[in-house]
Amino acid sequence: MGDPQLADPSLIPNLDWLADANWVTVQGSYEIGTNYVAMHENLLDQTHFTFLHEGTVGTPEWAAAPLEVAAEGDVVSLRRELLRSDPPGIYATPMRLEGKLVDRLSEAAFIGPAGHVAKARITQRDGSAEDGREFRVNITHLFTPRTQHSIHYWWFNSRDFYLDDEAASRFLHDASAKAYFEDVEALQWISDTVVNDVIPHREFSVRADRPGLLMRQVLARLAGQEQKIQA
């Protein structure tokens, strides 16, 4: 969309792990009854992991882990680290880390109106011979508007460990699909409430909403630039 003369291939985000033989990817898609801004807000809010995704990506300790937020250019990023904790369910089984302690690092970013990337690094910390081993998972979220209140959404879960383990692939696919469908249900409920409720709503933001608010500023600036070009 837009003026083809303004298309700049150098601005295309690097998602090379999706075609790298050193990574294995499982994927899925949904159509969601929400707008793309709300989807970005959901992905930038890691505080909901513990409560909406209990048993997959959420753990009680994760809710209180320190969160670092940064904005540079058109990218809004966040970083969260939790040391010597139980691994979340979505990783414990395919990484064969049940009952072991790990260091958990999550780095995520709004990379543009159509995408979000999260990178998880799990480091084994159990004092065994395997202590210090790292496992990486990159999660790619891509979406585009279908209507004013619905989007097409594709997700990709890529890992760099046990590449030939088909059981690990099935587990990651099913656990990911479960977690993302929980997002689908929550976002659709929120959208239906905001659009159809007869009671006026007043938005209230808390500290954890800062990444989403920064993302909105980027979208507003990009939309303003496009309107100036079209004028």
Can you give the CATH number for the domain in which 173 is found? 3.90.380.10
Predicted confidence (pLDDT) at residue 1 exceeds the cutoff of 80: no
**Bigger pLDDT: 25 or 60?**
25
In whole angstroms, give the CA distance from residue 12 to residue 75.
12
Question: Is position 199 within any domain?
Answer: no
Query: What one-character DSSP code corresponds to residue 53?
Result: S
Predicted confidence (pLDDT) at residue 231 exceeds the cutoff of 80: no
pLDDT tens per residue across span 19-35: 999 999 999 999 999 99
Domain of residue 168: give its range. Answer: 27-194+206-226
Question: What pLDDT, on the 0 to 100 scale, is given for residue 61?
Answer: 85
Q: What is the average per-residue pLDDT within 220-225?
A: 91
> How much of the chain, in percent, has pLDDT values that exceed 90?
68
Predicted confidence (pLDDT) at residue 176 exceeds the cutoff of 90: yes
* Helix-helix angle 36-44:166-196, to 10 degrees: 120
Q: What is the average per-residue pLDDT within 168-193?
A: 94
Question: Is position 12 within any domain?
Answer: no
Predicted structure pTM score: 0.91
Question: Is position 218 within any domain?
Answer: yes
Predicted confidence (pLDDT) at residue 229 exceeds the cutoff of 80: no
pLDDT tens per residue across span 73-95: 999 999 999 999 999 999 999 99
In whole angstroms, give the CA distance from residue 165 to residue 88.
19
Q: Which residues make Cβ contacts (< 8 Å) with residue 180, sequence separation at least 6?
A: 28, 30, 153, 155
Question: Is position 211 within any domain?
Answer: yes
Question: What pLDDT, on the 0 to 100 scale, is given for residue 227?
Answer: 79
Question: What pLDDT, on the 0 to 100 scale, is given for residue 128?
Answer: 86
pLDDT tens per residue across span 41-52: 999 998 888 888
- The total domain count for the chain is 1
Question: What pLDDT, on the 0 to 100 scale, is given for residue 116?
Answer: 97
Model confidence at 55, in pLDDT bands (50, 70, 90)?
Answer: confident
| Token pair for 28 | 């899925």
Question: Is position 34 within any domain?
Answer: yes
Question: What pLDDT, on the 0 to 100 scale, is given for residue 230?
Answer: 66
Question: Is position 18 within any domain?
Answer: no
Question: What pLDDT, on the 0 to 100 scale, is given for residue 129?
Answer: 84
Question: Is position 1 within any domain?
Answer: no
Question: Is position 10 within any domain?
Answer: no
In whole angstroms, give the CA distance from residue 58 to residue 16.
27
Question: What pLDDT, on the 0 to 100 scale, is given for residue 6?
Answer: 81
